[in-house]
Amino acid sequence: MILSETQTNPLSFVRQFVAILRTRRILVANVGLTSWGTSPARNLLGFLSLSLRAELGRPTVLLLHNLIEVVDTKGTGYAIGPVAARFAHWAVVGTRKAAICVFSREIANALSDSYRITVSRCAPLPCDSPLGSTIPPADPPAIVCFGFLSPYKGVDLFLQAAKKINAPCRLLIVGQVHSLLHKDSAYQVYVQHIHDLAKQVNAEFLGFVPDTDLMGILKRCQVGVLPYTSTTGTSASFTQLATAGVPVIATDLPEFQFLAQEGAGIVLVEPDPSVIAANIRRLLLDRGLRLELSAKQVSYAAKHSWDELCNWIEDRGKQFLPRGTAHKISNIA
């Protein structure tokens, strides 16, 4: 297997474009609409390279994370105009001959309705091996809001809810400013607003936490809160919380409804600070419920493993080749 990140440097991008077209190996592309940076043209060309190789009959497996049709461009902070939106649509149209895997029913439905594409696989984003469901005692208990500081993540809702919890707790925010948005003036205003709210409730900004330390922090949390105002198709933050066995309170959106139906330890609520606060308080006071939801998280993480996805990719790859033929895989991440 060859692992390669998507390239934003012009020369490196051209080299990768050519390599994608030329390789006859089974290519697995793990991409979203901004995988090649902020340039609409570069992202269009990146998807075009995948489309062209699929049209040439070269074996291509596409792990697709989002679509312009399901992204709230205002909430994500991206300034996507009608031309860029049209480019994003065209980028996906040509991939219909690839084997497409998505991690959201909403995306699967949008591909069917807007593109006439039937996906090869629709299942939640995989989790790392679960760490167990024991929630350690903490005084005060820790509540974590986790993920990039994008407007649609609803960190402001979490901090407004914190004012209404009326129970001793420690408030943690794990995540950093978005690398593609940090220079945008409107985004800078939003981030400052978040920091101002955090000061009012003494919330702690932990910023980016390396993977080597992240699970240690999450395992000491009693509740995770994902108060999104919209979803872009999947939540990697949720998978980390599930791996750590942390019960989650999330807004009642299709993405999280899908996870609940798959057995996740998740409580779905209205995007209202008072409702979020009431449910946080309920979990803090009911240890039995926390343990029940934590056990469900561990079971969910074990069921939706990376091994299960990798086995599907291997099986899908074998279908591209004559029986008994050895194969290699290239991976664009």
pLDDT tens sequence across 234-289:
889 999 999 999 999 999 999 999 999 999 999 999 999 999 999 999 999 999 99
- Give phi and psi for 296, each to the nearest 5: -65, -35
Q: What is the pLDDT of residues 92-149, one digit of tens each?
A: 888 888 999 999 999 999 999 999 999 999 999 999 999 776 666 677 999 999 888 8
Angle between helices 185-201 and 155-162 (to 10 degrees): 20
Task: Please tell me the predicted confidence (pLDDT) of residue 322.
Answer: 53
Domain extents in the chain: 2-123+306-332, 142-303
CB 210 within 8 A of CB 218: no
Sign of the dihedral through C-alpha 112, 114, 115, 116:
positive
Q: Which CATH number fits domain 142-303: 3.30.930.10, 3.40.50.300, 3.40.50.2000, 3.60.10.10?
A: 3.40.50.2000
Question: For residue 64, what pLDDT is reported?
Answer: 93
The whole-angstrom separation of Cα 201 and Cα 111 is 42
Percent of the chain predicted with pLDDT > 70: 88
Whether 195 contacts 240, CB under 8 Å: no
Q: Judge whether residue 2 has pLDDT over 60.
A: no
Average of per-residue pLDDT values in the chain: 87
